[in-house]
Amino acid sequence: MTGRIERRFAELKQKGRAALVTFVTAGDPDYETSLKIIKGLPRAGADIIEFGMPFTDPMADGPAIQAAGLRALHSGQTMKKTLKLVREFRAGDKETPVVLMGYYNPIYVYGVDRFLKDAKAAGVDGLIVVDLPPEEDDELCLPAIAADINFIRLATPTTDDNRAPAVFRNTSGFVYYVSVLGITGTKAPDIKSVGKNVNRLRKHTSLPIAVGFGVKTAVQARAIAKNADGVVVGSALVSAIKDSLTKAGKPSPKTVKAVHLLVSDIARGVRS
Amino acid sequence: MTTAQVNSYRTGPDEKGLFGIYGGRFVAETLMPLILELEQAYKDAKADPSFQAELDSFLEHYVGRPSPLYFAERLTEHLGGAKIYFKRDELNHTGAHKINNVMGQILLARRMGKKRIIAETGAGQHGVATATACARFGLECIVYMGSVDIERQKPNVFRMKLLGAEVVPALSGSRTLKDALNEALRDWVANVEDTFYCIGTVAGPHPYPEMVRDFQSVIGVETKRQMLAREGRLPDSLVAAIGGGSNAMGLFHPFLDDKEVEIIGVEAAGLGLRTKKHAASITGGRPGILHGNRTYLLMDDDGQITEGHSISAGLDYPGIGPEHSWLHDMKRVQYVAATDKEALAAFQLCCKLEGIIPALEPSHALAHVMKIAPMRPKDHLMVMNLCGRGDKDIFTVADILGVKL
């Protein structure tokens, strides 16, 4: 059976363009604003939506996404509320794929079986869990596949030809290629080497490959979209949220709009 | 967890890096190839007699091992029960047990051809030990330290700088040890080619818990030999303080299969286990996943990590080494806790009775010794790991006692 992610990539392939995958942290800067932001993302040009599940100790994330997680946690975001956010989004949008991204501990503490059941019911299509490499597939990857949720794997510049088969063995939906050695939102990707690595990985998988980490502008997005099936933008959106906040750190009337404007701009880059 | 009998408590971890359900390799994909490379390099080094010979030579001539097993006669008289011995790891070069592990890892880094060393530190002891070994071998050294800890531990920050290390403040999260660990992992992800991550305790992804344990086991191996020479038999009990748990694991591990030896780990109870201000991961936490391994952690109901608190900056880590978690579930080691107040009283008593200024970390172990030694018979042999000296803590203690230096 085909899921939303598979359908979305197939549609876009027919249209001959890459997907724009947008990342925002669930509950940043607060629940209500976050809901408004995500509800407007598809209209602004997002093809796939990633929600970060906030965590106190995000070891693969740079300062922008770390701060977004803490903003969300301080405003009272919990795993339950993140799933509720997906449910509310899904009530108004049956087709846009939703991927939850984060770290294992909040899922483990929620309970793996309970989490998969509630996530499926809420309308979650895929999971990206940064600290679960293939060596730990028994933990969540295999149960997620059994629950009919895509388990999307990160491939990195250190994923060489020896390691690639293990990385792609139990993955589905798409592959998230981390374009730089490092954490989110810091270095800018080197377009040439990204293209080379994406082509190298295609020898190991027939899944669509989306490229992320460090993509901030429409120009970068366009360049990457030439070689990839998707472009992920995260830190730039999260920074747009931060820049729109009042001095007290509260959402301003500009907050929701700032994110949507940036998404529209980058979407034009991906589609041109 | 069941407490089914096992033939040996010393065979872990398994090939997945697990001690029971604890441990593992919960890291980002970027780091996975590095961790596998490290595992192989450590396996090769372990099997190479020349590696162990080189390490032994540095431990003897540079670190100053073996450290004495000292009969604390006046403390024994004062408490009126068990015969108390101190394992004097505070006499090591750099003043704590941390250097045992650092020497091993730095020699391994050299073997692997790595030129850039990164480390995390809380109180600064592991940072100082790493900076020391890097100076000795001419390696670049970067130490991540929470900005809150940098403020609290100025003398150690200056020591590291004197030794040529760069001290980088961790400004994220709560800006203490756990955040320093996050920053070190972030550095490693960005510098995979030339960098060796020298972890300071028996935590982190496999193979670190095993490797650090092996390097620290010199403490227990010596203790066994020294006690047999002094008393003609094994000790009846071992007591050690636990933050991440490396000094305790080093003392305990060689004795785990000597089932007649009672083993006790002492966590930091801070202001008390009923308050939220403590750092007792086992007695006050539950299993979760952080920094590459599954272990007992301090966290809230939503799986968010909370802050540890202790008078001792070396103990306020919200986790504990995974092997300790397993030994707790298996009931082989008993885990208890001592408060800030009890540790401070033990600190003062040790200064006055034995002429030794202990670090606040082993003062927690001593606080427990003070509780149980009076109830044991006079022929009971008790060993406490005096894993660090207290010079670094005199400012903290003076502050609490209301003395202006």
Q: Touching check for A153 and chain B: CB below 8 Å? A: yes
Query: Distance (Å, rounded) from C-alpha B266 to C-alpha B280?
Result: 9
- Amino acid at the residue A230: G
In eight-state DSSP terms, residue A28 is S
Secondary structure of residue A44 in the 3-state scheme: helix
d(CA A31, CA A54): 12
Spatial CB neighbours of B355, under 8 Å, sequence gap ≥ 6:
none
Rounded to whole angstroms, the Cα distance separating B136 from B134 reads 5
Pairwise CB contact (< 8 Å): B185 & A59: yes
Number of Cβ within 10 Å of residue B176's Cβ equals 23
| CB-CB neighbors (< 8 A) of A107 in chain B | 303
Q: Give the tokens for residue A175.
A: 């592959």
Number of Cβ within 10 Å of residue B73's Cβ equals 12
Low-confidence ranges of chain B (pLDDT < 70): 1-5
Are the C-beta atoms of A108 and B299 separated by less than 8 Å? no
* Cα end-to-end distance, chain A, whole Å: 32
Which parts of chain A register pLDDT below 70? 1
How close does chain A come to B13, measured CA to CA in Å?
15
Residues in Cβ contact with A210 at an 8 Å cutoff, skipping those fewer than 6 apart:
A19, A21, A48, A174, A175, A176, A177, A228, A229, A230, A231, A232
Tell me how far apart the alpha carbons of residues B228 and B197 are, in angstroms, rounded to a whole number: 37
Write down the H helix ranges in chain A: 4-15, 31-44, 63-74, 79-92, 104-110, 112-122, 141-146, 164-168, 191-202, 218-225, 235-244, 255-271
Q: Do B173 and A56 make contact, defined as CB atoms within 8 angstroms?
A: yes
Q: Which chain B residues touch A155 with a CB distance below 8 Å?
A: 29
Q: What residues in chain B have their Cβ under 8 A from chain A's Cβ atoms? A: 16, 24-34, 172-173, 178-179, 182, 185-186, 189-192, 288-292, 294, 297, 299, 301-305
pTM: 0.96
State how far the Cα of B298 lies from the Cα of B327, in Å rounded to an integer.
18
pLDDT confidence of residue B109: 98
- Chain A residues within 8 A of B291 when measuring between CB atoms: 57, 59
Shortest distance between the Cα of A213 and any Cα of chain B, in A, equals 12
Q: Give dist(CA A101, CA A105) in Å, integer.
A: 12
Q: Give Cα separations from B239 to B128, B210, B243, B267, B294 (angstroms).
A: 25, 21, 14, 11, 25
**SS3 letters across chain B:** CCCCCCCCCCCCCCCCCEECCEEEEECCHHHHHHHHHHHHHHHHHHCCHHHHHHHHHHHHHHHCCCCCEEECHHHHHHHCCCEEEEECHHHCCCCECHHHHHHHHHHHHHHCCCCEEEEEECCCHHHHHHHHHHHHHCCEEEEEEEHHHHHHCHHHHHHHHHCCCEEEEECCCCCCHHHHHHHHHHHHHHCCCCEEECCCCCCCCCCHHHHHHHHHCHHHHHHHHHHHHHHCCCCCEEEEECCCCHHHHHHHHHHCCCCCCEEEEEEEEECCCCCCCCCCHHHHCEEEEECEEEEEECECCCCCECCCCCCCCCCCCCCCCHHHHHHHHCCCCEEEEEEHHHHHHHHHHHHHHHCCCECHHHHHHHHHHHHHHHHCCCCCEEEEECCEECHHHHHHHHHHCCCCC
DSSP SS3 for A36 = helix
- pLDDT score at B4: 59
d(CA B21, CA A230): 37
Contact (CB<8Å) B190/A167: no
Per-residue DSSP letter, A134: G
Beta strands across the sheet bearing B195-197: B166-170, B140-146, B116-121, B195-197
The H-or-E segment that residue A176 falls in is strand A175-178
Chain A residues with CB-CB distance to B191 below 8 A? 181
Closest approach of chain B CAs to the CA of A21, in angstroms?
20
Q: How many CA atoms lie within 13 A of B141 on its CB side?
A: 30
Residues of A with a catalytic annotation lie at 50, 61
Selected residue of B14, B29, B172 to mutate for chain A interface (largest A Cβ count, 10 A): B29
Question: Of A2, A16, A55, which Cα lies nearest the Cα of B182?
Answer: A55
Q: What is the pLDDT of residue A1?
A: 53
Q: Which residue of A has its CA nearest to B18?
A: A136
Angle (CA) A154-A106-A239 rounded to 5° is 60
Taking only residues 50 to 69 of chain A, the set having a beta carbon closer than 8 angstroms to any beta carbon of chain B reads 55-60, 62-63, 66
d(CA A139, CA B201): 25
How far, in Å, CA of B381 to CA of A249, rounded?
Answer: 59
Structural contact between residues B145 and B170, judged by C-beta atoms closer than 8 angstroms: yes
Residue A159 and residue B289: Cβ atoms within 8 Å? no
Residue A99 β-bridge partners: A50, A126
- C-alpha A234/C-alpha A216 separation (Å) is 8
Mark residue A244 as left, alpha or beta (left: phi above 0; alpha: psi -120 to 50; beta: remaining): alpha
Task: State the complex-level ipTM.
Answer: 0.95
Instruction: Name the token pair of B131.
Output: 């900076």
